[in-house]
Chains A and B, each alone.
Chain A
Amino acid sequence: LGLGATVVAVLPVQATAAVDEAIAAFTGGAEMGSEGITLIAPEIAENGNTVPIEVNAPGAEAIFIVAAGNPTPGVATFNFGPLAAAQSGSTRIRLAGTQDVIAIARMPDGSFVKASQEVKVTIGGCGG
């Protein structure tokens, strides 16, 4: 149990208009499919300040990552060069609370695909 003097609020953070804006800036408002992209993130973050995520979208030109509940939703854009062996990558991100992490890939034909997963950021539970 993680109780103490310096815990932070942890209720789910609601997505804001800023999320839509950030996504539109990447997609130009295009429709998004859901096939051909995977996002791997933990169900529960071990530490909200460093949450490992992995994105993979075979053939993509770029993958944009958004944290829907962060004050500033944009996280990173992976742009793949000619020598990328796979259109995939892993990094670690900050999440201000429980929220959806979203990954959107731009494919060479100009289409977009999207995957998302909720990551829970908790002050901690207790153990058996």
Chain B
Amino acid sequence: GNWGRLAAQQTLSQDDLLQFDTFGNVSLIHITDIHAQLKPIWFREPEINLGVGGNKGQVPHITGADFRRAYGIEDGSPSHYALSYDDFVALGHAYGKMGGLDRCATVINNIRAERPDALLLDGGDTWHGSYTCYKTEGQDVVNVMNLLKPDAMTFHWEFTLGSDRVRDIVDDLPFAALGQNIFDSEWDEPAEDFAPYKFYESGGVKVAVVGQAFPYMPIANPGWMFPEYSFGIRDQRMQKMVDEVRGQGAELVVCLSHNGFDVDKKMAERVTGIDVILAGHTHDALPEPYLVGETLIVASGSNGKFISRVDLDVRDGRMMGFRHKLIPIFSDVIAPDSEVAEAIDAERAPFANELSEVIGRTADDTTLFRRGNLNGSWDDLICDALIEEREADIAMSPGVRWGPSIMPGQDITREDIWNVTSMTYPNAYRTEMTGQFIHEIMEDVADNLFNPDPYYQQGGDMVRVGGMGYRIDVTKPIGERITEMTLLKTGEAIDPAKTYTVAGWASVNEGTEGPPIWDVVENHIRRQGTVSVAPNTSVQVIGA
């Protein structure tokens, strides 16, 4: 439907967005997975977000109209636009871009005006994901975030800057760098550079914040970039830390987590005594906290699109009640904070020409997005680029959840391309694989996503494939999910014994060779001029 006109009738105001009756005695402000997006962006929420096992049909694994129904969100409303995928273009034109750290600053300052000792907690995936972040090795984001004065953060993609660089930044960080699960890999001892927790005094309440970094760092990202560290869920140690801070008088225990939502749910079942888990990594935005026993799980989206505010009433060492709001950062409605806006512009100024160069544009029928368990149109475009520029039969692109969207009929700048490709291991490899091996890869990645036990999941999405179709039954065990693999250019079944040329990027293997993916995509888009991506019909999903 066309919600544009209806939407325009619903005027938004900054006051409405920020309206919150201050409650209790403690306020938490949560932002996560910014992925270096300093400026407002378009961001289309997922269309396909499958839950498996006990999480089938549970939040956050519901999308679109089902999601709106679950949370009582009116069709065409600002929340419809911010939280679900459908009618994205029409609603986007009515409501505008989201995010911008200068707008986030306004929201944070506003909360602090009401609750001066509110704690600002950053869930990580902050120093990664843009042209300027790559060129400055994260310094641009660090500088801007410091102005927001966080109280603590935890980590994931930050480590792909390499451990030396991470330590350099952490040494100078004016707030706590937390991760109870970050260990020295040689001696298996807690890593000295990252504290497990930190105490804060807020509203007369002793608050402990325990950090939980991404548990699967050396699996999902190149371990050779940070060999001194080991991670893991380590929920037994988490319990020990919770008991320890309780023993030291913590009245409120907050876990600043980068586990991913389903892992947080399971951890909340296994670890007792955590009052609030601030969830990151899986980029879910939920308008209400999710309750596991007495633990609140708060999910605050990604790319600077949302900030969560959680007010808590803590008395006699117990959380007695809460009030929560997921604040969508409508960039045309929330006034930018001028100091932060200037700082952002200053960080970007040295790169202004490179960032703004127009490489091509999207056709009127094409929205570029990437978010969801299977290929998005950005992924399809990247796979097309790999197949054509690298002369491959099949392309594979990582199932990451970051990367803003591009509206139809919009210029695609270099910045836009880097927003979906920027990383420190960008080489676009070209290699030979047997059909059997391709199948093994598909099965392996599928199990990292669809294993019914969340502790065996890594919170990414299915590897995006170009040039090949397949059928996936998400309910089957490893080895049996992927069938009917077909080479699209011939329509023939993939032969396990035959060898195919595969191009891909983001290999975790050291020494991977090939041009950086952003050059591959830029060349492809330049050649196309106007980019049109047809809906992907080559993946058949069963058991959803």
Contacts and interface: CB of A to CB of B under 8 A. Distances in A.
Q: Is the interface of A mostly helix, strand, loop or mixed?
A: loop
Given A123-B444, A125-B458, A4 B220 contact: no
Interface in A14-66: 40, 42-47, 52
B461 interface: yes
A44 B463 contact: no
Interface residues of B, number: 60
A11 B220 contact: no
Given A11-B479, A127-B157, A1 B463 contact: yes
B232 interface: yes
A128 B283 contact: yes
B372 to A, nearest CB: 12
B272 interface: no
A124 interface: yes
A42 B444 contact: no
Contact of B509 (A7, A52, A98): A7
Contacts of A43: 233, 453, 455-456
A83 interface: no
Interface in A71-128: 90, 98, 120, 122-128
Given A46-B230, A52-B188, A122-B219, A11 B443 contact: yes
A11 B223 contact: no
A7 B216 contact: no
A122 B509 contact: no
Contacts of B453: 43
B460 A46 contact: no
Given A2-B220, A125-B460, A128-B460, 12 more contacts: A1-B445, A4-B512, A10-B440, A10-B444, A42-B232, A43-B233, A43-B455, A46-B217, A46-B230, A124-B219, A125-B449, A126-B400
Interface of B: 33, 125, 156-157, 188, 214, 216-221, 223, 230-233, 236, 260, 280-283, 302, 396, 398-402, 429, 431, 437, 440-441, 443-445, 447-449, 451, 453, 455-461, 463, 478-479, 502, 504, 506-509, 512
10 contacts: A1-B445, A2-B220, A11-B478, A42-B232, A120-B447, A120-B451, A125-B448, A125-B457, A126-B398, A128-B402
